[in-house]
Amino acid sequence: MRNSRLDVRPLSGAGGAEIFGVDVAQDLDDDTVRDIRDALNEHCVVFFRDQELDVARHKAFARRFGPLFIHPNYGTTGDDPEVVMVRREPGDAGHIGEDWHTDTTMVAEPPMGAILYGIDVPPYGGDTMFANQYLAYDALSPAMKKMLEGLRGVHSDITEAGPLAGKKNKNRSTKHRDDAAWQETRNTHPIVRTNRETGRRCLFVNAANTIGVDGMTEAESKALLGFLLAHGNRPEFTFRFRWQRGSVAFWDNRSTRHIALGDTGPFRRLMRRIQIGGDVPI
């Protein structure tokens, strides 16, 4: 990372950093935006505390890093298609993000990142964990890296939206689309992805959307993906963020997986998420 004027404090050895002294609701100058992007590229996720963000300022901050991305499968979270309210109420038996995943990878150009804002945060529980997929790739053996060259994962939303979403939606407050007009979105992406900004390579498969390996049988895909999914979540690649009201998490969706922990018990958890458009994975 080049010399930065920001107060950036790493959160763990695996990734993540808190940035202090920045009010993201303000009109940030170009140098500050570049420093935040540099910190994101280095640490995979950056966090801010004690922020006051209404929807307009949340969008304005996100737009400094790219066009806003509209999620195709959240049709019931409000009137604004650029905003997803991630809600869990006491008594919900399930919640969005309860498995390790990377966001919305079934589209041709998956979002580069997301900015999540804590509105109603439990006094404890509901943390978010992240897994650094640069480290996951680096830890593979030379033989495995060679085998993965050129392989493409098949990404689909068939397991999280449409008919299969119906039963899950009964148990959670934020719901995926399950209407009759829904149609599957499917694309293939390289299993090993190169970040255009950093040149670093990472694993790019996840449990929510990667349903197979292009050109392999179902049994072959299941075996290879089973290993890669478990490998990418190894504890030494992970780090954890404890939410407070006004906290902001900005993650690089290209190089991380994440999971929302469901240990909120009797407490409500309400977050606002805006995604940032990405490009075709290479």
> What are the pLDDT digits (tens) for 37-67?
999 999 999 999 999 999 999 999 999 999 9
Report the pLDDT averaged over residues 138-162: 93
Dihedral pair phi/psi, residue 122, rounded to 5°: -60, 155
Element (H, E) at 228: helix 218-232
Residue 76 confidence class, pLDDT cut points 50, 70, 90: very low
Spatial neighbors of 154 by CB under 8 A, at least 6 apart, are 186, 188, 210, 211, 212, 213, 214, 221
**What CATH number does domain 68-239+252-276 carry, 3.40.109.10, 3.40.50.2300, 3.60.130.10, 3.40.630.40?**
3.60.130.10
Q: Record the pTM.
A: 0.93
Average pLDDT over residues 147-162: 91
> Could you tell me whether strands 17-20 and 45-48 are parallel, antiparallel, or unpaired per DSSP bridges?
parallel
Beta bridge partners of 79: none
How high is the pLDDT of residue 159? 84
* pLDDT for the residue 169: 55
Q: What is the mean pLDDT of residues 148-168?
A: 82
The rounded distance, in Å, linking the Cα atoms of 187 and 157 is 10
Q: Is residue 78 over pLDDT 80?
A: no
Phi, psi (rounded to 5 degrees) for 16: 85, 140
pLDDT for residue 72: 84
d(CA 143, CA 140): 8
pLDDT > 90 fraction of the chain, expressed in percent and rounded: 80
For residue 46, the cross-strand partners are 17, 250
Q: Which residues pair with 193 in a beta bridge?
A: 202
The mean pLDDT value of the chain amounts to: 92
pLDDT tens digit sequence for 225-272:
999 999 999 999 999 999 999 999 999 999 999 999 999 999 999 999
- Residues contacting 184, CB < 8 A, separation 6+: 156, 157, 158, 162
Please name the residues in contact with 150: beta carbons below 8 A apart, sequence gap of 6 or more: 190
For the chain, which residues make up each domain, given as ranges?
A: 68-239+252-276
Q: What is the pLDDT of residues 96-109, one digit of tens each?
A: 667 899 999 999 99
> pLDDT tier at 132 (50, 70, 90 boundaries)?
very high
pLDDT over threshold 80, residue 4: no
Q: Which of 142, 151, 176 lies closest to 161, judged by CA?
A: 176
Neighbours of 90 (CB within 10 A): 12
What b/e string do you get for 48-83 counting C-beta neighbours within 10 Å, with b at 16 or more? beebebeeebbbbbbebbeebbebbbbbebeeeebb
Q: Is the pLDDT score of 75 beyond 60?
A: no
Indicate the helix (H) or strand (E) that contains 149.
none
Residue 198: pLDDT over 70: yes
